Each structure stands twice: as structure tokens, then as C-alpha cells.
Structure 1
């Protein structure tokens, strides 16, 4: 498995493919919510398998100067037992730190809370609806 920052349009399309499979098809998020006006302001990540097929994706935005917003973190259903979520988080956090971020923030789906809590994230809000799915805001202090 190889994690890349999508610098080419084909890689970005691969990230969109994974996101559409997970969020649009599997979780029924409308495409116009999933692919939004923030795409060009984000750094996109893709994890490829050994056959160069996209398996996982995420995006990162630096906001408010020293905060990194981790977004659209997803892994294809058939690839969920290979630790790709951990690899994505590691890549996102590394890039956030490289861009001067001191804190990571995300809106996590409630079913993923145990995963993020194990990675050091803390829930800092009451549950709320986003794209028809219950989320909570989570944060983590990033260290070099």
C-alpha cells in the first residue's frame, strides 16, 4: 500500500472515486454535498494497493492559521481490515504539522468515535447532523 498526496488530476479523481463509493453510494450522501466548493482549497490524499487501485482517501485544509481540518476520511468497504484509516490519519497529521498546524479538528461520524479516540482525538461537541449523518466535532493537539 502506498499513500500519496494527489498532485496530479488523475490522483485527485481517484480520491473522488473512493469518496463517491463510500459516502455517496454506501452512505447516500448527495453528490453535491460530497464534492463541494472547498476541493481546490484542500490537499487530497489517496492510498493505493499494490495493483495501483485507490483504496482510501481524505482531504486536509489549513484553517484559522494553526488548525488543520481533516475531512472526507474514507476507506473502501473491501479494504477496511488493512489499517488504512491509521495510515491516512498519520499522513494527514504529518502534512498538517509540516504546514504549521498545532491542532487537528474534524467532524467525525459517531460510529467512528472509538477509532478516533484511540488515535488521541477528543470529542468537543454534542452530536449534530451533517449530510444526514450524526457527527461530533473532535480535536487533537499535534506534536512534532
Structure 2
């Protein structure tokens, strides 16, 4: 990873990841500009997005790695001020991974102009004693791989016998536990015969799932699309959708349809789907049918 000099002004092209924020009324001060302390909150918010970009559900990942990250040092340099309602892009870049520490460079941009930048130094340590521990090699590889432009997730496509345990775990958490869909409505005989897709991060954790089956000759149906809560808004749901559509093309289907929850309509619209027909109720949740050509 090539470092950004601490004395130089960062440029947008120095960053692979950005989190977009809008300045809120509560964040400005008597000078009608963002109060200086809020920029650390902006950095922290963007770091949360950075973990999603790495396809890492933070709490579960740290528990699996046997530690946690604690801030050791934070520095900021103020170049200009942000104002109410302005849209800001907060860049995050991993600059260095040491034995037990990691250094992130963060920068707040308004368009191409850098307003504030600085560094956050974290120490990986035992969660209870806070005794420093070596950064696990898996996490080290993830951080360096992301900054090199590598993919953070992979999608496996296969039968229920192969992927069912992971798909079931995700669907249970999202549909049954979170959305309160009755279990008897969630599980059906189609699972045994249709094609499933599951997205995994580079530590092997299952993140998202969906399935593909024939609706009528020439038309496939995608269903049971679910993403764990911590990774919503990342790309893993789209990657599962793309994998299922590609599987449909390979099987000769000319069109694919799905029943989208209204809250997810925008997600499918951005993937090229169009609404067809009125809103209807399915499992107590408002849905709409959406279609696209393959």
C-alpha cells in the first residue's frame, strides 16, 4: 500500500472507499459551520462503512478473531469548513498494518476539495484485558487485498445439499426472526430442487442468499433473497442477484421475475428490473412483482 504523506493534502483518487454524508442542523455551530469535533464522528461513521466494504460484519468478525480494535491515537488537520446541507464524501484508506496496530487515513471531501483529513491508529487487543495481540493474518490480508482492488466476497451457486445449511441460517435470521414470517411459510419443498446462491466473505462467513427456480417455460423466478443486517447497503446482495441471473441465462431462460418487498424495490430497479402489476400482500408484507429480460 502506498502511503499518503501526512504533510500533503489527500486527493480523491487516493481512496478506494467513500461514505456519503449530509451535514445535519445539529452538527453546525455558532459560526454556521460544522463544529470541529463532529469530524471525528464523520470519520467513525465512514470506518463503519469501510468494514461493510470489506464484507465484514464487525462485531461477529471481531468475536471470531478473538479480539477487538481500540483507538490509540486520532489526529485531524482542518483545511476548510463544511456547512449545513452540504453533501460530503468521507474517504477511508488503510495506510499500514503493523504487528498489533493498524493506521487508517480519513479525509472529508466536498466535491474534489479536501476539507479535513487525519489519521486513526487502532490497536488489536484482547476484548476483556485490552492487552495488545498480533493482528490476525486473515484480517491483515483482507485490508491489504481491499486496497489492492481485490474482491471481498465470492458467490457459490449450487444445490440445497451443498449450500442449504448456510442459506437456512441467513433466511432464519432475516425472514423468521427479524421479519416475523411464520416458519411454516418460509420453508417449502422447492428448496430441495431449485438452485441456490450464497455469498461468503474471505473469512468464510455466509452473508447473503437467494434461489432460482422455473416459473413457467422460458421464465425463471428469483426468490428468498436475504442479506444479513450488518451487510445491507454493501454489494453482496447485488452479487447474489447477478449470480442467479447468470445461472438463468446459462439455463436458457429469456426472462426472470421476482416478488420484491416494497422496501427493496429501489434495489431491484437499480439492477434493471421493472415493476409489473399492483402492490399485493405476501406473508403480511407489501410486495410488487418485478421483471427483467435476461
Q: Shorter-chain TM-score category?
A: over 0.9
Please state how far the C-alpha of 1:41 moved relative to its aligned partner.
2.4
Are 2:168 and 1:16 aligned? yes
Please state how far the C-alpha of 1:8 moved relative to its aligned partner.
6.5
Are 2:199 and 1:60 aligned? no
CA distance in 2, matches of 1:23, 1:106: 16
Alignment match, 1:125: 277
TM-score, with structure 1 as normaliser: 0.94
- Deviation string, structure 1 residues 54-109 (Cα, Å, up to 9, x no partner): 10000100221111100001100011132111101110110000011100100000
Please state how far the C-alpha of 1:23 moved relative to its aligned partner.
0.6
The secondary structure found in structure 2 opposite 1:137 is strand
CA change 1:57–1:128 in 2 (3 A) is: same
- Deviation string, structure 1 residues 21-78 (Cα, Å, up to 9, x no partner): 1111111111111111211221111111111111000010022111110000110001
Count of aligned positions = 142
Question: Would you say the 8 A contact 2:171–2:226 is kept in 1?
Answer: yes
Choose the corresponding residue for 1:85, options 233, 237, 253: 237
Please state how far the C-alpha of 1:14 moved relative to its aligned partner.
0.4
- Deviation string, structure 1 residues 1-33 (Cα, Å, up to 9, x no partner): 110013463521100111111111111111111
Alignment of 1:63-142 (within 5 A): 63-142=215-294
CA distance in 1, matches of 2:231, 2:162: 21
Unaligned runs of 5+ in 1: none
Question: Would you say the 8 A contact 1:15–1:46 is kept in 2?
Answer: yes
Q: Which 4+ runs in 1 deviate beyond 4 A?
A: none
Q: Which has the higher contact order (CA 8 A, sep 6+)?
A: 1
TM-score, with structure 2 as normaliser: 0.47
Question: Would you say the 8 A contact 2:195–2:212 is kept in 1?
Answer: yes
Unaligned runs of 5+ in 2: 1-152
CA distance in 2, matches of 1:89, 1:112: 13
Alignment match, 1:33: 185
CA distance in 2, matches of 1:4, 1:121: 23
